[in-house]
Chain A
Amino acid sequence: ETGVTQSPTHLIKTRGQQVTLRCSSQSGHNTVSWYQQALGQGPQFIFQYYREEENGRGNFPPRFSGLQFPNYSSELNVNALELDDSALYLCASSHPGGSENGYTFGSGTRLTVV
């Protein structure tokens, strides 16, 4: 059974650019959530996808968007990057019902915006 895989592991982008981060869910998990973890802070919920539809969203602007594919993998897209977008972006997969069944987090993508 494979875990959650995220790519790339590190990324440097320039302010104003766009970025796409990718996540492969753990086998058997059909729900994917994305979190942003600023340095020294706890992760913050961005959004969740279930059956290829957005199933909940945190307090993030529309320039943060996502996709889930039929194989349950997912993408996080961020447009018009700002310096404050520099963070570790975590993907977490789960069965429906979320945390009660245990989220499995990937190791994250470290995004630096310069």
Chain B
Amino acid sequence: QQQVKQSPQSLIVQKGGISIINCAYENTAFDYFPWYQQFPGKGPALLIAIRPDVSEKKEGRFTISFNKSAKQFSLHIMDSQPGDSATYFCAAVSGSARQLTFGSGTQLTVLP
């Protein structure tokens, strides 16, 4: 059962453009929503995260928008750069172990 659905599977953006990745969740027990960036041969690294009582969080070029009623959240990467080319995972946190439930990932390619 895929509890966090992520789209698109792949995304190609020109340098300087905006990259948008969307996620939707079903489990209302989720209470924290991080985004991770993963480069080939590396583990995921925390990029930015949001709590459900906040509708938007911005850190540099990265912004999370959160819609609690729709159970959807998205990552916007402004002024996308070739160095942003990586796989991005949305995730949701629940449980006493605060375990991460990941989406299936979006492979972002930023063309120079």
Contacts and interface: CB of A to CB of B under 8 A. Distances in A.
Contacts of A100: 32, 49, 93, 98
Interface in B42-79: 42-46, 49
A109 to B, nearest CB: 11
A72 interface: no
Q: How large is the interface on A (under 10, 10 to 19, 20 to 34, 35 or more residues)?
A: 20 to 34
Contacts of B29: none
Given A99-B32, A99-B34, A58 B99 contact: yes
Contact of B98 (A41, A99, A106): A99
Nearest to B1: A59
B28 interface: no
Contacts of A55: 96-97
Contacts of A106: 43
B34 to A, nearest CB: 6
Nearest to B99: A45
Interface of A: 4, 33, 35, 40-45, 47-48, 50, 55-56, 58, 90, 92, 97-100, 102-103, 105-108
Interface of B: 4, 6, 32, 34, 41-46, 49, 89, 91, 93, 95-105
Given A55-B97, A92-B43, A99-B93, 13 more contacts: A33-B100, A42-B91, A42-B104, A43-B102, A44-B102, A45-B99, A56-B95, A56-B99, A90-B43, A97-B98, A100-B32, A100-B49, A102-B46
23 contacts: A33-B100, A40-B104, A40-B105, A41-B105, A42-B89, A42-B103, A42-B104, A43-B44, A45-B99, A45-B101, A50-B97, A55-B96, A56-B96, A56-B99, A58-B99, A98-B97, A98-B98, A99-B32, A99-B34, A99-B98, A99-B100, A103-B100, A106-B43
